[in-house]
Structure 1
Amino acid sequence: MSSADGPVQFDPADFGAIPSSRALRQWMRTTRRRHADRSFWQIFEDVYLVLFTLAMAGATGGNVVHHLNNNAASCTSWSCGELIQWMPWIIIPLLLATTLRMLLAVGPVSATRATGFWLLATPVSRSALLRPAYRLVIATVSVVGFVVAAVIWALLGAPLLEVFGAAVLISALLVCTAIVTVWAQQTPHRSRWTLRVADLLLIAAVIPAVVLALHKRPSTTGGAWFGAVPTYQTELVDAYGYGGTTLGLSAITDASNTGSGQPHLLLLGVAAVIVAVVLTFIAARSLANLSRTSVIAGGELLAGLAGAASSLDISMLGDVISGRHWRLKGRVRSRRGRGARGAAIVQREFLRILRWPRRLVIGAALLVVPYAVAGAGFHVLVPIAAGFAGFVAVRPLLDGLRTACRSMGLVRALGMDLRELRVVMAVVPGLIAIIWSVLAAPAIGDGAATFAVAAGIIAGSVRQASGRPPSYGGPLVTSPMGAIPPGLFSQPARGFDLLLLCLAPVLFNLSATWVLAIPAFVLTIMFAVRPKTD
């Protein structure tokens, strides 16, 4: 047997010494600069515009947050005290679960297909090649986590030093969470268990939100669950008789003024930062265990998300994530269908939703939104918060309808009119939307408003799922981002317009007749009109 029949052995004498990752990146950087067709000042103009825009947006947002922080700090009502007490137990699990799910959806360490084919398949150190992407993920998570935590704690009315300490602590926790996702990316078994932990965190965030919403408030009439909260002075004099501060809130106010809890926050933050730094270096040594399949899949997902974002098509973003999920899953157990025509399609849609049960868990966890808003005392905003949260929960369940509306060949193969097909495929998601709205009814507090929320969720999600692809026809419109086809401007608002139309009578405090009539009329027109396909 000749040597050519055996496995190929790498011999440095035949191919030369293996280059280091740093030398390889330096060579690639030099090659790119050699073929660059833009001068430094042209690049600087673009960077300057981006930095100037970020500075303006940061200054505007900072002023708004500062104003809201002053208003929240001056609030001394019973609702504000309860909000400060329970909100961290809602926000922290939500942030951790969101970080786990988003990073595991991407990778978190990712690379393009070209990098995976030309570089990761070579004998060059894989850890060194993936280390820049790993550092970018850690830096992004730390910065975004710090900003989000600082904004949330500032909105709660915390003093500056406490805001800084909470931001440092939560940022370090999120970095540790990102490191866990890097560890979980190395094997599919770890990824599955990490996603289950994320689901448990989402469920854990629901419990304090329900407690916050259903907690009985003190009032002059003996208390009400979802009634109007009395004014501060009346509440204090009639319910407690102290005239200055309530017993429960006085300790919070004193702690905020004296800053007694701030050193503990800072110490915990410093300890968490040390742990995060140590884990960052440990995880960097295990990057060689990442497979090319998982790394390239993340790069393809980012490329698809960038393409969907450039077309302003929100539904396409969900399609990209859904497509990656089913490609990684590979196959499912087939089941025999039942019924004929519409009944068969309803049964298949039900099975399709059950094959990805994690979306149902996320939808159940989104019940935290209306209950949290109700517990914070913002009863006017509960219907709109419930509407948007329910929209996010139900919209991913309509992938089958979106596929049918984007493929006329599939519609002809099913043998039904597109209008009838839209009604049939919306049956199961519509029932889930009704169940979700009923579960959120205690926070909404009114039967007519609950019907408006359910109708808005169904109408908005079905409209977005059955919408046409983006239109690139017509004259271009000049914008700061360049020339944009006018058909793209309607893409982000599709679906949300019907949701707001159904919620409008609730927000304007109209009578129950209008609250029931307008959403019912919108639903009737929605399912009576045939979707446009061109």
Structure 2
Amino acid sequence: MTDGPVVFDPSDFGAIPTSRSLRQWMRTTRRRHADRSFWQIFEDVYLVLFTLAMFGATAGNVVRHLNSNAARCTSYTCGRLSEWMPWIMVPLLLAITVRMLLAVGPVSASRASGFWLLATPVNRAALLRPAYRLVTATVAVAGLVAAAIIWALIGSSFGVVLEAAVLISALLVCAAIATVWAQQSTRRSRWTLRVADLLLIAALVPAAILAFQHEPTRNVQTANVVLTFAEMEQVSAFDPGGLHLLVVCLVVVVLCLGLTTITSRTLDRLGRSSVIAGGELLAGLAGAASSLDISMLGDVIAGRHWRLKGRVRSRRGMGSRGGAIVQREFWRILRWPRRLVIAGALLVVPYAVAGAGFDVLVPIAAAFAGFIAVRPMLDGLRTVCRSTGLVRAMGMDLRELRVVMAVVPGLFAVLWAGLAFPAIGSLSATFAVAGGVISGAVRQASARPPTYSGPLVASPMGAIPPGLFSQPARGFDLLLLCLAPVLLNLPPLWVVAIPAFVLTVMFSVRPKTD
């Protein structure tokens, strides 16, 4: 034997199998080891389809009712909403799509596939093509449904809703294709994320303009007329409007299919590490979703981000005990500046609701948006509350640590609520929003892991531990409790007193760890 690099010779191992033959062999092997009959699988699928049908019918009826109400609206506010909504929602949907897909991959594979298949001489593009097509189809359907619901809620006609849904779905498919292109290089991924941040900022500008516009003294009729199902049947493809819609749909479908086909030929450039990382993330998200632990979903994404980042530049700390922890929490938040950009972009929510004329819903919209903005900044508190050894190493009581580690996120929540004050319009309501955001985010971050002890509860999905039902509500319960006096239109004294009492009780009680 001579020294040198190992060269693959097909004659030593046989011909390289095609990806189609491999997938067929794996499908046959799985069917041989299946331990469930067709009727058992059909029962589960039937329950899922029946639930989706019931939910879809209920949601569709609600959307149609809101569409009818919005179509009959003659106020200037309805006209402003229908005019500015595309400039707000289109950049927002594009940014959310890009960020979510880049967080996952978007093309991903399990660790087993990456170890046994992607490391072989088999054509990698052919192996990854089914996952790529599934992602593209999912984005197309999700964009179609989301756009149809949004444009139906502002009172658009059936033709306008369908055309907007098709165009926005095509835009989201193009965004998904761009993320596949960006996944092939780390530099491309960074620049694509920056573009997503710019889109989030672009959605904030028209929302602020919409919120600060003044309503004139006279009303202007700008809403469209809703089409009933009987009128929808009268729309023919040979009419000018129907022909225009048909041409638009054909052009969009051909364009998306062409871009999808071209990009599928470049899947062999995807690195095996990035593809496997996406599969591990999906597995972690599935585990977190099965336990109904919302905080764990964020932990999985944050863990993948820091593993890919690898290292950061260390900084020398100052002070001792509580002061040192506050300083370290401040620097830890600044190490992920994109979260601050997202938090700033979430200001679009209260301003958009205020500009739309729904003044009653502004506090609750601002509270939920602020909760989403502040909660990722409490990852340190969640880590401490889930590790008894780390609490002992810091030499402080868990109650003291919760207060200290909530200082920086609490100040940011106050700043965020202050920036949303022009939309909220009331100082007491702004205090209630800030108090609800702080208390809810801290409660969810310091909550115990789900418990599986105790008797099980029977459900159509099987036996479920009762401790899982309280997991999604943790944090949101205190948020709604602080907003209750605002929603009930109580005097300003109660609006301030109840959130202050909730904050006092929460920070004075020691969180449970077992």
Same fold (TM over 0.5): yes
Q: How does 1:375-414 map to 2 (within 5 A)?
A: 375-414=355-394
Q: Which residue of 2 aligns with 1:84?
A: 82
After superposition, the C-alpha distances for 1:419-467 in whole angstroms (9 at most, x for unaligned) are 1100110010001100000000000000000000000000000000011
Residue 448 of structure 1 pairs with residue 446 of structure 2 = no
Q: For residue 396 of structure 1, what is the amino acid of its counterpart?
A: P
Deviation at 1:271, TM superposition (A): 3.5
Change (3 A) 1:55 1:201: same
Paired residues for 1:245-394 under 5 Å: 246=220, 249-250=221-222, 253=224, 268-394=248-374
SS at the partner of 1:13? helix
Distance in 1 separating the partners of 2:446 and 2:242: 51
One-letter amino acid matched to 1:458 = I
Which of 439, 458, 462 is residue 482 of structure 1 equivalent to?
462
Q: Distance in 2 between matches of 1:332 and 1:272?
A: 44
Task: Please give the alpha-carbon distance, in whole angstroms, between the structure 2 residues aligned to 1:432 and 1:262.
Answer: 51
Task: Say which of 209, 214, 217 aligns to 1:216.
Answer: 214
Tell me the distance in 2 between the aligned counterparts of 1:255 and 1:525: 50
What is the rounded CA distance, in whole Å, between the counterparts of 1:33 and 1:181 in structure 2? Answer: 34
Residue 483 of structure 1 aligns to a residue whose secondary structure is strand
Equivalent residues of 1:337, 1:344 under 8 A apart: yes
Aligned residues with identical type, % of pairs:
75
Q: Deviations over 1:255-280 (max 9, x none)?
A: 99999988767655543333222110
Cα deviation per residue 1:321-379 (whole Å; 9 max; x = unaligned)?
00000000000011101111111001100000000000000000000000010011110
Q: Secondary structure at the match of 1:140?
A: helix
8 Å contact 2:155–2:225 — kept in the other structure? Answer: no
1:73, distance to aligned residue in structure 2 (A): 0.7
Contact 1:21–1:129 (CA<8 Å) still a contact in 2? yes
Aligned partner of 2:189 in structure 1 is 191
Contact 1:165 1:266 in 2 (8 A): no
Q: Say if 2:155 and 2:226, in contact at 8 Å, map to a contact too.
A: no
Q: Contact (CA 8 Å) 1:82, 1:376: kept in 2 or not?
A: yes
- Distance, in Å, in 2 between the alignment partners of 1:266 and 1:207 is 33
Q: Which residue in the other structure is 2:137 paired with?
A: 139
Deviations 1:477-508 (A, max 9, x none): 11121111111111000000000000000000
Cα distance in structure 1, aligned partners of 2:380 and 2:394: 13
2:481 pairs with one of 493, 501, 524: 501
Alignment of 1:131-170 (within 5 A): 131-170=129-168
Q: Specify the code of the residue in structure 2 equivalent to 1:309.
A: A
Match runs of 1:414-429 below 5 Å: 414-429=394-409
Superposition misfits of 4+ residues, deviation over 4 angstroms = 252-270
Q: Which amino acid aligns with 2:142?
A: V
Aligned residues: 505
What amino acid maps onto 2:253 in structure 1? V
* AA aligned opposite 2:160: E
- Name the CA shift for 1:91/1:341 in 2 (closer, same or farther; >3 Å): same
Match of 2:8 in 1: 10
Partner residue in 1 for 2:72: 74
Residue 57 of structure 2 is matched in structure 1 by 59
Whether 2:413 is the aligned partner of 1:433: answer: yes
Distance change >3 Å, CA 82–CA 270, structure 1 → 2:
farther
2:45 corresponds to: 47
The equivalent residue for 2:33 is: 35
Q: 1:22 to 1:9 in 2, by over 3 A?
A: same
1:114 is matched with 112
Any gaps of 5 or more consecutive residues in structure 2? none
* Deviation for aligned residue 1:21: 0.4
Post-superposition offset of 1:161: 1.2
- AA aligned opposite 2:185: T
| Cα distance change on mapping 1:401 and 1:485 into 2, 3 Å | same
**Counterpart Cα distance in 1 of 2:33 and 2:371:** 47
1:1-36 per-residue CA deviation (whole Å, 9 max, x = no partner) reads x32x32211111110000000011111111111111
Secondary structure of 2:34's aligned partner: coil
Per-residue Cα deviation, 1:211-253 (whole angstroms, up to 9, x for no partner)? 111101124xxxxxxxxxxxxxxx44xxxxxxxxx2xx35x65
Secondary structure, counterpart of 1:201 in structure 2: helix
Q: Is the contact between residue 70 and residue 154 of structure 2 (CA under 8 Å) also seen in structure 1?
A: yes
Which whole-Å CA distance do the structure 1 matches of 2:35 and 2:12 have between them? 37
Q: Structure 2: which amino acid aligns with 1:60? A: T
TM-score by length of 1: 0.92
Question: Are the aligned partners of 1:172 and 1:269 in contact in 2 as well (CA < 8 Å)?
Answer: no
- Aligned partners of 1:38 and 1:413: how far apart in 2? 50
Task: Say if 2:69 and 2:155, in contact at 8 Å, map to a contact too.
Answer: yes
> 1:54 and 1:344, CA in 2 relative to 1: closer, same or farther beyond 3 A?
same
- Where does structure 1 lack aligned partners over 5 or more consecutive residues? 220-234, 237-245
SS at the partner of 2:118? coil
With over 3 angstroms needed to count, the CA separation of the structure-2 counterparts of 1:363 and 1:260, relative to structure 1, is farther
1:22 counterpart residue number: 20
Tell me, yes or no, if the aligned pair for 1:166 and 1:269 is still in contact at 8 Å. no
Contact 2:157 2:226 in 1 (8 A): no
CA distance in 1, matches of 2:298, 2:155: 36
Which secondary structure does the structure 2 equivalent of 1:500 belong to? helix
Residue deviations 1:140-182, cap 9 Å, x none?
0001110111111111111111111110000010000000000
CA distance in 1, matches of 2:469, 2:41: 28
* CA displacement at 1:130 relative to structure 2: 0.2
Aligned-CA RMSD value:
1.8
